[in-house]
Amino acid sequence: MAKNSSSESGYAEVNGLKMYYEIYGAGKPLVLIHGGGSTIQTSFGRIIPELEKSRRIVAVELQAHGHTNDRNFDLTFEQDADDVAALMQLLKIPKADFLGFSNGGHTAIEIALHHPGIVNKIILASTFYKRSAATSEFWKGFDSAELNDMPLPLQQGFLAANNNPALLQNMFNKDVKRMKNFKGWKDEQISSVRAPVLIINATKDVGSLEHAVEMYRMFPDGELAIFPGFHGSFLGAIESIENGRMPKFNAVPLIEEFLDKG
């Protein structure tokens, strides 16, 4: 996949991390937060050209992912949220909308909980907030997960950003450990979020449709959309692409409508 041409890219020193980011377009800022094991391009490379037409896209790569280096401690969604908030401060962006895909949605939840002042609206794409959203087989898989279990396009995407197999293994190990120990959030935490939230789920997603409905009802100002397909297919996430083609069902128009209204 050819990399999109950003108007600005670089590294920012945030909380002891050299955090990589890319900026596209102009207008109201929208922060993109990739999924676990992913990079900016693997999660969002196919929709950035559409989104940047009407807004300023700030895409980040989190600790140990893609171009961004690691720290000598485990990954946490709370730390990722603090890192994104610190980056926004350095870039002099006081407030933004957020689109978090998969684990990136978990980071977005932490941003809403711990940094509500920087949030306008949130899109949670293929995201869940508690363990019961996914099957027991999904969780058991982390007990014996090996790098070969990681989708090949995601491995290739990491190596395209950072051609170091040892760091790919390190990222995989840390992502697996974080998900193996995933605790989620309490209902009262989710219901405390005051920002408007759009939840997008696929019919064959990791999190169940029943959970997506439950989460939608939990947010005081929530909206819900269900698309046919698989985890992230409505965003064109690279692990969901078949035959190199963007799926027919594209969530960008819905996302733009949600962000533009009000």
On the question of pLDDT at 103 being above 90, the answer is yes
Other CB atoms within a 10 A radius of the CB of residue 186 amount to 11
Chain centre distance of CA 71: 20
Q: Under DSSP, is residue 203 helix (H, G, I), strand (E, B) or coil?
A: strand
Please state the pTM of the whole predicted model.
Answer: 0.96
Can you tell me the distance from the alpha carbon of 55 to that of 42, in angstroms, rounded to the nearest whole number? 20
Task: For residue range 157-202, list pLDDT tens digits in order.
Answer: 999 999 999 999 999 999 999 999 999 999 999 999 999 999 999 9
Confidence of residue 4 (pLDDT cuts 50, 70, 90): low
Confidence of residue 5 (pLDDT cuts 50, 70, 90): low
How high does pLDDT run on average in the chain?
95
- For CA atoms 132, 135, 140, 142, the dihedral sign is negative
Can you tell me the distance from the alpha carbon of 250 to that of 234, in angstroms, rounded to the nearest whole number? 5
Does the domain made of 8-260 have the CATH classification 3.40.50.1820?
yes
Rounded average pLDDT over 114-125? 98
pLDDT at 249: 79
Contact assessment for residue 218 and residue 192, using Cβ atoms and an 8 Å cutoff: no
Contact assessment for residue 196 and residue 262, using Cβ atoms and an 8 Å cutoff: yes
Rounded average pLDDT over 137-142? 96
Kindly tell me the burial class for residue 61, based on how many C-beta atoms sit within 10 Å of its own C-beta (0-12, 13-18, 19 or more).
buried
Domain assignments of the chain as residue spans, ordered by start: 8-260
On the question of pLDDT at 22 being above 60, the answer is yes
Token output for 168: 């790919």
Task: For residue range 196-248, list pLDDT tens digits in order.
Answer: 999 999 999 999 999 999 999 999 999 999 999 999 999 999 998 777 676 77
Can you tell me the distance from the alpha carbon of 181 to that of 77, in angstroms, rounded to the nearest whole number? 12
19 phi and psi, to 5 degrees? -90, 130
Can you tell me the distance from the alpha carbon of 124 to that of 199, in angstroms, rounded to the nearest whole number? 5
